[in-house]
Amino acid sequence: MLNRRTLAAALIAVLAAPSLAAAQATTPSASQIERQLQAAPTTKLRPNQRVTVREFKRRPDLRRMAPSIDIQSINFAFGSAEVPYSQYGKVENIANALERILRRDPGARVLIEGHTDAVGSFASNQTLSERRAASLKQTLVREFGIPRYALETVGYGEEFLLVPTQNENWRNRRVTLRRYDAFIR
């Protein structure tokens, strides 16, 4: 009887996986990423209102004003920060968008924000989100030639959940790209 239950559970998981995998596999195109990051900030700051990069990272009110796009499709192994080679096609979309933006505006700067779901301790999620953001930056720099100076990283762990739940939810495990050069002094 146990074998039938195990088999039934496995069959259900296989049948349910395509819809979850399809939802997770949706990667924005390079054009979509570029368009989102090229958008005007929702509010233009006067020069005396501009902040340091460090302050920008700590101010959700400013970050919400900046052009951004969530990338939910880069799949990391559980507890891992390494960008698997199988995900490089998705990362290439990001790299192509960044290359075009930097070609037009060499002063463009993008913050890579790492986010997790709420499963696990706050501290471990914080560390994991920081490591994942840094890993994506490293991949963009080493494998795709994006200039290191154009990218900053930060991890927010479970602090800014898209889906407010203490349970596992793949939508919360994401990277957000946020253009911040209009906010920095």
Taking only the tens place, the pLDDT of each residue in 55-84 is 999 999 999 999 999 898 888 777 788 999
pTM of the predicted structure, to 2 decimals: 0.83
Phi, psi for 152 (deg, rounded to 5): -125, 155
Q: How many domains does the structure of the chain reveal?
A: 1
Residue 154 lies in a domain: yes
Structural domain boundaries, residue 115: 27-35+45-181
Helix (H, G, I), strand (E, B) or coil at 18: helix
Residue 18 lies in a domain: no
Residue 14 lies in a domain: no
- Give the other-Cβ count within 10 Å of 155's Cβ: 22
For residue 1, what pLDDT band results from cuts at 50, 70 and 90? Answer: very low
CATH number at residue 151: 3.30.1330.60
